């Protein structure tokens, strides 16, 4: 399993792992597909490296292999889903499909999910809508790592927002962004490389900006204060209050609206300190563009604005203006051809899991 | 008209100005209400200071006093409105009311608007939804002042997003943010005060960050290159590509989706360089929270997350954590009591308009 791994072999392996953990094969396929899609797109922090955490969650019983996913309430254009404390990918995929069905019939569909878990990359679900020429929306709340503007403690998650928009000949627009200035993955990368953090990325236990990644990661782990700053950085001078507002908005739509955990109520523990189900929430949407404008016209204009941006003059020293999703589409094409490079630590982890579960390590 | 002016007197004055320009009295009332609401909330750049520009637009015939506002296409949950090149406030108010009517009946309503004009503060429309305990969404595209990440030229507007969410006993959550790191108003403020711009706010004609507000404003005016940076600043290190993505998303929803102007197609000119109707677009939404969760439960949780954030530990040297909209609500309460302080230049402008139009200057 050294070097590069084929995404097909990797997916098959992950399916077997989850099936062995008692997850129904269709649900295992969805989960593996979301994880491997992250690796393909170059977002390795949300890829198969997560397998260990999910296996552990299933073993501890805080995540259920065969959840009862229920539609609690619905209208022709909305639904509330209970994820039954199962894998976030399974609830997420079900919810996004339901949003798209509603949009297909009524023009618009929104589905909020409570009692779920980590669902992987937000962009997987928004991009599902592209298959039917709809706009897709996907958001989730997450573990508290982000400090509000002027705050010391992490009360919000990196709470990503993803919006996917269909195009004609150009690649789709796929915005998929944490509402924080960076993610925990970036902190870990800087720690490994022993590089100083940029000012405006994270704060120490007093809530003051620091360049020390190790300190920030330890403080976050032990909840000693500080954390990642919202998009826009510290204070209000560079718009940190806007990133904070977007993070809070995601928590409102994903936590408050479906009645899931929000703020510091996510990943609760019992009185003895034992983890309880995470109660993560998600929010999905689908929108038919032809409710507003003929699809072909819409796609022509999307191609036009993309080309206008790409062809516009570059800043001194720059060679290329990117459209959102473009880098990830290019990475996925490359990794489909050449295989996915896995970090040695992740390879060790997956080998250990294979051995523990008696899954053939055919990679 | 020196010192502070009562918001009621100011609104009456602005109504008379627009009526004198041929705007129907109900439309003039809506427009004046949106403008004065901006002053009340402390966003003076979008307040009555805009009156001159609107009067000029009506005189030049690029804005129409009695537009034919038409519902071009609609479903029970969506509509496309043509603003008829009238005042953006009139089209915006009509569109948001329509979105709310649809949401009242169906749970959700989205209305996109084409062929409109500057509509004032985005938050005015999103907050309309609060009166009926709905979430409100409001966005608009705008004149090109913002450079894409790695770009030299301004292709996007400051493209604001506003989302309003009802609460119980706490003040509503009202996010109302430009997707750029700062607005043009901030550049002008720094120029007046002869202060150096923060790095990461704006770029010069080569597309390189600069601290010279005068240079940036002149370059933007003459379209020589450079402009305001997206939220997240220059390059990708601080997430500038995220702000750029949000600005582009707003242009997609407000420009591409309704078939309005987008990118550099807004504020077009004819071959002789004469301004044509601006073809600005907007996007409005309303969402009934009780489609997902009983309203009382939702409100209780909203109050809870607001209190959780407000009560959480402060960063060293900080005394208060704000919720979005809070500063503006406090400002509005103060200005309702004490009157609105107008800049001497704005007072002169309004006096000139009064004289030109023969409107009694009773302020």
* pLDDT tens figures, B179-215: 999 999 999 999 999 999 999 999 999 999 999 999 9
**Which of A147, A163, A301 shows the shortest C-beta gap to B262?**
A301
**Which of B241, B302, B312 shows the shortest C-beta gap to A256?**
B302
pLDDT at A363 over 80: no
Q: What is the mean pLDDT of chain A?
A: 96
Q: Which chain A residues are closer than 8 Å to B279 by Cβ?
A: none
Provide CB contacts within 8 A for B83, sequence distance 6+: B67, B69, B90, B91, B113, B114, B115, B116, B117
Q: Which chain A residues are closer than 8 Å to B301 by Cβ?
A: 255-256, 259, 262
Q: Which chain B residues are closer than 8 Å to A257 by Cβ?
A: 289, 292-293, 298
CATH code of domain A1-60+340-363: 1.10.1530.10
Cβ atoms within 10 Å of B121's Cβ, excluding its own = 25
Name the token pair of A246.
């977007």
Cβ separation of B263 and A305 shorter than 8 Å?
yes
Q: Name the 3-class secondary structure at A268.
A: coil
Q: What share of chain B is helix, strand, coil (3-state, %, to 5)?
A: 45, 20, 35
Q: Which chain A residues are closer than 8 Å to B299 by Cβ?
A: none
Q: How far apart are CA B232 and CA A232, in angstroms?
A: 5
Cβ separation of A237 and B155 shorter than 8 Å?
no
Average pLDDT over residues A81-104: 98
Average pLDDT over residues B295-304: 98
CATH code of domain B67-181+229-311: 3.30.1370.60
For residue B330, the distance in angstroms to the closest alpha carbon of chain A comes to 17
Alpha carbons within 13 angstroms on the beta-carbon side of residue B164 total: 29
Sign of CA dihedral A212, A216, A219, A221: negative
Cβ atoms within 10 Å of B231's Cβ, excluding its own = 29
For residue B142, the distance in angstroms to the closest alpha carbon of chain A comes to 15
According to the model, what pLDDT value does residue A310 have?
A: 98
Cβ separation of A305 and B256 shorter than 8 Å?
yes
According to the model, what pLDDT value does residue B295 have?
A: 98
Sign of CA dihedral A33, A39, A41, A44: positive
Chain B's closest residue to A137, CA to CA, is B249
For residue B342, the distance in angstroms to the closest alpha carbon of chain A comes to 24
Q: Which chain B residues are closer than 8 Å to A149 by Cβ?
A: 321-322
Confidence of residue B13 (pLDDT cuts 50, 70, 90): very high
For residue B95, the distance in angstroms to the closest alpha carbon of chain A comes to 13
Query: Number of helices (H) and strands (E), helices first, in chain B?
Result: 11, 11
Q: Which chain A residues are closer than 8 Å to B107 by Cβ?
A: 75-78
State the span(s) of chain A assigned CATH 1.10.1530.10: 1-60+340-363
**Which of A106, A203, A252 shows the shortest C-beta gap to B77?**
A106
According to the model, what pLDDT value does residue A1 have?
A: 42
Name the token pair of B254.
């407000």
Backbone torsions φ then ψ of B211, nearest 5 degrees? -110, 10
**Hunting for tokens 């503060």 — which residue is that?**
B121
Q: By the 8 A CB rule, do A325 and A174 touch? A: yes
Q: Which chain A residues are closer than 8 Å to B309 by Cβ?
A: 148, 151, 155, 248, 263
Q: What is the pLDDT of residues A165-198, one digit of tens each?
A: 999 999 999 999 999 999 999 999 999 999 999 9
According to the model, what pLDDT value does residue A362 have?
A: 63
According to the model, what pLDDT value does residue A307 have?
A: 98
Closest residue by Cα to residue A285 from B37, B285, B195, B122: B285
pTM over 0.95: yes
Average pLDDT over residues A138-144: 97
**Which of A287, A289, A312 shows the shortest C-beta gap to B153?**
A312
**Which of B203, B238, B323 shows the shortest C-beta gap to A315?**
B203
Closest residue by Cα to residue B167 from B333, B294, B328, B298: B298
Provide CB contacts within 8 A for A275, sequence distance 6+: A60, A62, A267, A268, A269
Q: Please state which architecture CATH assigns to domain A66-181+233-311.
A: 2-Layer Sandwich (3.30)
**Which of B110, B292, B309 shows the shortest C-beta gap to A257?**
B292
Please state, in angstroms and as integers, the Cα–Cα distance from residue B316 to each residue in A152, A203, A204, A207, A209, following that order: 7, 11, 10, 6, 10
Q: What is the pLDDT of residues B115-139, one digit of tens each?
A: 999 999 999 999 999 999 999 999 9
Confidence of residue B1 (pLDDT cuts 50, 70, 90): very low
Of A20-29, A304-313, B74-83, B352-361, least confident by mean pLDDT is B352-361
Q: How far apart are CA A218 and CA A133, in angstroms?
A: 44
Q: How far apart are CA B5 and CA B7, in angstroms?
A: 6
Q: What is the pLDDT of residues A192-247, one digit of tens each?
A: 999 999 999 999 999 999 999 999 999 999 999 999 999 999 999 999 999 999 99
Chain B's closest residue to A247, CA to CA, is B175
For residue A57, the distance in angstroms to the closest alpha carbon of chain B comes to 27
Q: Which chain B residues are closer than 8 Å to A315 by Cβ?
A: 147, 150-152, 203, 206-208
Q: By the 8 A CB rule, do B51 and B35 touch? A: yes
According to the model, what pLDDT value does residue B362 have?
A: 64
Q: What is the pLDDT of residues A247-284, one digit of tens each?
A: 999 999 999 999 999 999 999 999 999 999 999 999 99
Average pLDDT over residues B144-157: 98
Q: Please state which architecture CATH assigns to domain B1-60+328-363.
A: Orthogonal Bundle (1.10)
Q: What is the pLDDT of residues A51-60, one digit of tens each?
A: 999 999 999 9
Q: Name the 3-class secondary structure at B194.
A: coil
State the span(s) of chain B assigned CATH 3.30.1370.60: 67-181+229-311
Chain A's closest residue to B224, CA to CA, is A313
For residue A337, the distance in angstroms to the closest alpha carbon of chain B comes to 27
**Which of B151, B201, B287 shows the shortest C-beta gap to A315?**
B151
C-alpha B18: how far from chain center? 20
For residue A132, the distance in angstroms to the closest alpha carbon of chain B comes to 17
Q: By the 8 A CB rule, do A158 and A146 touch? A: yes
Cβ separation of A257 and B175 shorter than 8 Å?
no
pLDDT at B2 over 90: no
Cβ separation of A151 and B321 shorter than 8 Å?
yes
- Which of B163, B174, B282, B292 is the best substitution to test chain A (most A C-beta atoms within 10 A)? B292
**Which of B76, B198, B287 shows the shortest C-beta gap to A237?**
B198
Average pLDDT over residues A133-153: 98
Cβ separation of A292 and B73 shorter than 8 Å?
yes
Average pLDDT over residues A110-129: 98
Q: How far apart are CA A333 and CA A336, in angstroms?
A: 5
Cβ separation of A207 and B315 shorter than 8 Å?
yes
Cβ separation of B313 and A75 shorter than 8 Å?
no
Chain B's closest residue to A146, CA to CA, is B309
**Which of B112, B305, B324 shows the shortest C-beta gap to A245?**
B324
Q: How far apart are CA A207 and CA B313, in angstroms?
A: 9
Q: What is the count of residue pairs from A and B with beta carbons less than 8 Å apart? A: 254
pLDDT at B150 over 50: yes
Q: Which chain A residues are closer than 8 Å to B292 by Cβ?
A: 73, 78, 80, 112, 257-259
Cβ separation of B163 and A249 shorter than 8 Å?
yes
Q: What is the mean pLDDT of chain B?
A: 96
Cβ separation of A151 and B289 shorter than 8 Å?
no
Sign of CA dihedral A212, A215, A221, A223: negative
The fold of the A183-228 domain, in CATH, is Wheat Germ Agglutinin (Isolectin 2); domain 1 (3.30.60)
According to the model, what pLDDT value does residue A3 have?
A: 77
Cβ separation of A80 and B249 shorter than 8 Å?
no
**Which of A256, A293, A298 shows the shortest C-beta gap to B301?**
A256
Cβ atoms within 10 Å of B194's Cβ, excluding its own = 8
Average pLDDT over residues B51-66: 97
Chain B's closest residue to A318, CA to CA, is B150
Cβ separation of B152 and A312 shorter than 8 Å?
yes
Q: Is the ipTM of this complex over 0.95?
A: yes
Cβ separation of B150 and A314 shorter than 8 Å?
yes
């Amino acid at each position: 399993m050294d070097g590069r791994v084929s995404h097909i072999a990797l997916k098959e392996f992950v399916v077997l792992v989850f099936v062995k953990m008692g997850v129904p094969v269709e649900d295992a396929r969805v989960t593996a597909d979301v994880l491997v899609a992250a690796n393909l797109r170059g977002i390795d922090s949300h890829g198969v490296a997560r397998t260990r955490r999910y296996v552990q969650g299933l073993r501890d019983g805080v995540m259920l292999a065969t959840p009862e996913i229920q539609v609690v309430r619905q209208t022709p254009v909305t639904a509330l889903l209970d994820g039954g404390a199962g894998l976030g990918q399974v609830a997420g995929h079900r919810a996004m499909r339901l949003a798209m069905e509603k949009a297909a019939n009524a023009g618009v569909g929104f589905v909020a999910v409570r009692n779920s878990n980590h669902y992987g990359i937000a962009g997987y679900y928004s991009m599902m809508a592209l298959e039917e020429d709809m706009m897709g929306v996907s958001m989730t709340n997450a573990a508290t790592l982000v400090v509000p503007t002027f705050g010391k403690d992490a009360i919000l998650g990196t709470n990503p927002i993803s919006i996917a928009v269909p195009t004609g000949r150009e690649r789709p627009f796929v915005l998929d962004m944490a509402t924080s200035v960076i993610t925990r993955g970036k902190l870990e990368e800087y720690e490994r490389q022993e590089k100083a953090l940029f000012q405006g990325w994270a704060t120490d236990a007093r809530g003051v900006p620091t360049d020390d990644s190790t300190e920030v990661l330890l403080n976050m782990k032990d909840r000693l204060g500080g954390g990642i700053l919202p998009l826009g950085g510290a204070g209000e001078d560079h718009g940190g209050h806007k990133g904070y507002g977007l993070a809070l908005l995601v928590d409102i739509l994903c936590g408050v609206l479906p009645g899931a955990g929000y703020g510091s109520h996510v990943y609760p523990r019992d009185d003895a300190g034992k983890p309880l189900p995470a109660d993560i929430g998600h929010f999905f949407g689908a929108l038919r563009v032809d409710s507003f404008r003929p699809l072909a016209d819409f796609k022509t204009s999307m191609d036009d604005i993309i080309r206008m941006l790409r062809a516009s003059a570059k800043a001194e020293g720059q060679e290329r203006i990117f459209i959102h999703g473009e880098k990830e589409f290019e990475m996925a094409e490359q990794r489909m051809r050449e295989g996915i490079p896995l970090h040695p630590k992740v390879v060790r982890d997956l080998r250990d899991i294979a051995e523990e579960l008696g899954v053939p390590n055919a990679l």
